[in-house]
């Protein structure tokens, strides 16, 4: 039985890594499109070029949907802003520069999911 649980956990870890990679690529694509002035109509003077929310990635058709975190069972990703202090765990919420899982679990390799 422990082998089966380990296999399920490993599958969720692979899914989490894939979801993080896909969303980070979508954030980068949004920034690239913004820099090419594809979203010029909504351009603001003090805007970083990153999406204000994860939902904006869906609105601009960079992603079809926001994936569900395999460990929390919700699309409750923690976002990091371009202007956030890298040492702080708090975000000013101005934009979405990076994301991480809301899970406080530990991976099979001993790292925290929130550090991925």
End-to-end CA distance of the chain: 28
Domain ranges in the chain? 2-115
For the chain, percent helix, then strand, then coil, each to nearest 5? 40, 5, 55
What is the predicted pLDDT for the residue at 40? 67
pLDDT in tens, 28-82: 999 999 988 887 665 566 678 899 999 999 999 999 999 999 999 999 999 999 8
What is the predicted pLDDT for the residue at 41? 64
User: What distance in Å separates the CA atoms of residue 85 and residue 91, rounded to the nearest whole number?
Assistant: 8
pTM attached to this predicted model: 0.87
Contact indicator for 83, 54 with CB cutoff of 8 Å? no
What is the predicted pLDDT for the residue at 57? 95
Q: How many CA atoms lie within 13 A of 56 on its CB side?
A: 17
């Amino acid at each position: 039985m422990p082998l089966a649980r380990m296999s399920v956990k490993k599958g969720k870890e692979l899914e989490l890594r894939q979801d993080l990679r896909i969303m980070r690529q979508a954030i980068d694509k949004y920034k690239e499109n913004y820099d090419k002035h594809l979203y010029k109509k909504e351009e603001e003077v003090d805007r970083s070029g990153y999406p204000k929310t994860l939902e904006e990635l869906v609105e601009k058709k960079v992603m079809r949907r926001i994936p569900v975190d395999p460990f929390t069972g919700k699309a409750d990703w923690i976002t990091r802003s371009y202007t956030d202090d890298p040492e702080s765990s708090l975000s000013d919420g101005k934009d979405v520069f990076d994301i991480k899982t809301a899970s406080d679990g530990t991976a099979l390799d001993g790292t925290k999911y929130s550090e991925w």
